[in-house]
Structure 1
């Protein structure tokens, strides 16, 4: 018994597969690699710690401006979001998250770039991103923000941070 028809069929299939791969058959489209996303860079200030009234909740936050070179957006970064219960501190989690209302205003040379608000929840560490705006060139941007934290666990005593302004250098394209 000869296996030539089977071998010939396998070789034909391999050749057709190779032809499809290089795009040499008219009905097969050449596959293009997806466009690479631009790298995101962040410009941030120092972490600041906050306690609620009665010191039942705690968190550390900092304000950042992120850019991909074309767009810019504010970010509220959070770490060590905790609540006190019994005689110990516990990290925020999915059951007892830190929830934020984040209001922001971004300006460049006195001109408005973005003004908006965002809400979100995070565990012990995370980010609350704002909406994006178009880059207005590289250099100093002014981010003014206020935010309120509810939780974790205790929601009767929010942490309220009034207007906080940071001058941030952003490597934005124009």
Structure 2
């Protein structure tokens, strides 16, 4: 672990009030000051006032991408480490999160110890590297490919379906399912 970085203050942005409260309590029990929000309302001012060492950001906030908040977080607290948590992990979103300035990316479900390890360790030693540790199943490879093509077409379902030579309804059914486990 990196001995130069110690978490003292963590801000949690997750639209699930129960998860948000439980994670805040678990971190507080470890001596870490916490605050949280369920959306982006007043986020920049709140972060500037709270001054966290790290921000835990849910990827899906009431149907909006948490990735859109990374720039706001970076401007409000430039030195904070941003950990993106998601129940819909994909290599595409992991790469996008890191490109935008996230420090690390973890798939849910996860535990507090994994979250702390990810935030306190140098970024090349943390759990995000587990995305490529095991070979992916054929179903997971299909999901990753669909996500990549969808991103290339800026989320346009019809254009993505044409590019994949797939009927639009078939694509919508595949997208409605949770990602396939590896």
TM-score, normalised via structure 1 length: 0.22
The structure whose RCO (Cα within 8 Å, separation 6+) is larger is 1
Q: Which structure carries more strand by proportion?
A: 1
Q: Which has the larger radius of gyration?
A: 1
Q: Which structure carries more helix by proportion?
A: 2
